[in-house]
Structure 1
Amino acid sequence: MELRQLEYFVAVVEESNFTRAAERVHVAQPGVSAQIRRLERELGQELLDRSGRTVRPTAAGEAVLPHARAALAAVAGARAAVDELAGLIRGHVSVGMVTAGPTVTVADMLAGFHAEHPGVGISLSEDTSARLLGALREGRLDVALVGLAGPPPPGVSVHVLVDEPFVAAAPPGDPLAARDTITLEALCDRELIALPRGTGLRTALDNACARAGFTPRVAFEASDPNILARLAARGLGVAILPTTVADTHASALRAVTITRPGLRGRIALAWRSDGPASSAAAALVAHARLSLPARQNTGARSMSDTSAPASSSRRKS
């Protein structure tokens, strides 16, 4: 049994595809297939189910997978220990970012880290917060920028960067725009525009509506909050937006504070609670925590509060 066989096996399982796995490990696909076949012959069991459109681990493969990952992590740890003893930081780090996250901030952070540690390779991927947190816990990511609707899941530590309320945003001609506040339950019959499932904002919305006894009528979904705002400005529904995003669209939308319950969301830097798997990943977490300072936006002002004094004709619900 060779380490490269375990590496190829883990890559195929995580990519669910031989071609993508081969690209990931920089080996021709026949080479990957041949090495995994040798591993299967040595173990006397098929590890992968190749019969479907995607490749999946068999029961034997599921049993072998955690041991393969542990072996690869142990080797990486041994190399990291030697590098640390020699005063070197090198290797590779994997970073995840929630779709439509603060790209410029992350780019600046990664550029600073690269300048300090040019020997470390960096990969960046985008996904929903739910998938990023899963990849983080499984060791496929070293650090991730995620949206949180509540406490972080077990095994994950966070450094909160943004904590702000969500508002309901509608164009000035909408009856909702005449209000200062609205209860969440009062939105049960309105068509809503929101981020897709798996994002922090959508999870917060769905959970709050479930506690209130109804399912939100989400008519439109988009991964970019600015697109949600533009759809609402065209009268296609009420957008559920972070306050800061609503503020940037003050000329086209009026934001109304959601009460009973109020909705809040957080953007946070996340990593495994038991610590990064390598010295390079540990250095990245330390650098990110310094270059991405925590900041709070605890206000719950509506967009009209930032543009003009509220009119006496505005009503509360």
Structure 2
Amino acid sequence: MELRQLEYFVAVAEEASFTRAAERVRISQSGVSAQVRGLERELGATLIDRSTRTASLTDAGRVALEHARATLACSDAMRQAVGEVTGLVRGRLTVGMVIGCTITPFFDALAAFHHAYPGVEITLLEDHSARLLRDVRSGAVDLALIGTADPTPVGSNALTIVSEPLVALVPPGHPLAEQPTVTMAELADHRLVCMPEGTGIRTVLDRACTLHRVQPTITVQASAADAIADLAVRGLGVAVLSESMSRDYRDRLTALPIVDIDDPALLALVWSGTKSPALDRLVRYCRDAFAAAPGPEPRPRGHTPVPTG
């Protein structure tokens, strides 16, 4: 019994015609008829009633049709599975990460994928979140870990990894240092040190400014949390970072929750809609790595703050 015999038999059964079945499988009508007769001889039963102008199934044919379809479906599934593995033997993926990324589960996922599929070349690049998201949408980057203000960035698939509020950080002796919290209106009275435009944290801050109709003075912009904190310690302005970022600077700065910013800063995994076995498998590795991370949210390596820029 051959797969092509089953294929031709199914075509005749579904088309109710040897002529239309031949057109469907693109061989001669005599070829279809010969293959179906060969199948009937092997099974020892007539599958197609040829006594009328319409090719109809016999009782044996109706029973055989179900199994023929199932066999062909299994064959297609096997081809697809083998094709996916073959496609992963070689290839290339471009992976982006937000500047300052030290997220352990992300690195674990990349390492595990590389060991499992060493034939797939991974190009790793670092950039601001807005540019990474743009490149994911265009297809220039396959997958990226970014900071964002939107749970589901338009034009990409997304998985939120971290969601946390923004805080203001001030040094001892600062006018705000004795307050338990701070508002956007109060922040507007002071110079700010924050991340540049295009980062998730800055987007959340800018949206809050627009919502509350305030225009704070941003004196310094920096991509690294350490630089922002050091500048705040030296009195150049109030630092605005995410909650987890602030934890490394508790010995030098006081973190004040900003009570009227409702939107959190997010760290998200985004990837393109490209049908790629390698990309699909890498996304699975990332999902598994983040799901296995301890605690309610994945923590960064050592004491490095989570970059949601």
Q: TM-score when scaled to structure 1?
A: 0.64
Instruction: Indicate the residue corresponding to 1:92 in structure 2.
Output: 92
Instruction: After the TM superposition, list the runs of 4 or more consecutive aligned residues in structure 1 that deviate by more than 6 angstroms.
Output: 294-299
> Displacement of 1:84 after TM fit?
2.0
Instruction: Measure the CA separation in 2 of the matches of 1:294 and 1:129.
Output: 25
Bigger Cα displacement from structure 2, 107-116 vs 126-135: 107-116
Q: Is residue 142–residue 281 contact of structure 1 (8 Å, CA) maintained in 2?
A: yes
Would the aligned equivalents of 2:96 and 2:143 in 1 still touch at CA under 8 Å?
Answer: yes
**By how many angstroms is 1:110 displaced?**
1.3
Structure 1 CA distance for aligned equivalents of residues 86 and 268 of structure 2: 33
Structure with larger Rg: 2
Cross-structure match for 1:24 = none
2:252 corresponds to: 252
**TM norm structure 2:** 0.65
Task: Work out whether residues 136 and 143 of structure 1, in 8 Å CA contact, stay in contact via their aligned partners in 2.
Answer: yes
Percent identity between the aligned chains? 41
What is the alpha-carbon distance in structure 1 between the residues aligned to residue 126 and residue 84 of structure 2? 30
Kindly provide the amino acid, as one letter, of the partner of residue 177 in structure 1.
Answer: A
1:49: which partner in 2? Answer: none
User: 1:83·1:90 contact (CA, 8 Å) conserved in 2?
Assistant: no
Which residue of 2 is the match for residue 123 of structure 1? 123
Cross-structure match for 2:133:
133
Amino acid at match of 2:96: G
Which structure 2 segments of 5+ residues have no match? 1-79, 298-309
1:187-238 Cα deviation digits (max 9, x unpaired): 1121001000000000110111011112231111110112111111111110
In the alignment, which of 284, 287, 296 is matched to residue 285 of structure 2? 287
Q: CA RMSD in A?
A: 2.5
The superposition leaves residues 152-178 of structure 1 with CA deviations (integer Å, 9 ceiling, x where unpaired) of 332212111111111000001101110
Per the alignment, residue 267 of structure 1 pairs with 267
The equivalent of 1:142 in structure 2 is: 142
CA distance in structure 2 between the partners assigned to 1:96 and 1:82 by the alignment: 29
Match of 1:234 in 2: 234
* Structure 2 CA distance for aligned equivalents of residues 286 and 226 of structure 1: 32
Paired residues for 1:146-165 under 5 Å: 146-165=146-165
Residues 157 and 271, structure 1, Cα contact 8 Å, conserved in 2: yes
Tell me the number of residue pairs that the alignment of Structure 1 and Structure 2 aligns: 218
**For residue 257 of structure 2, what is the amino acid of its counterpart?**
T
Structure 1: which 5+ runs fail to align?
1-79, 300-317
Moved more, 181-190 or 105-114: 105-114
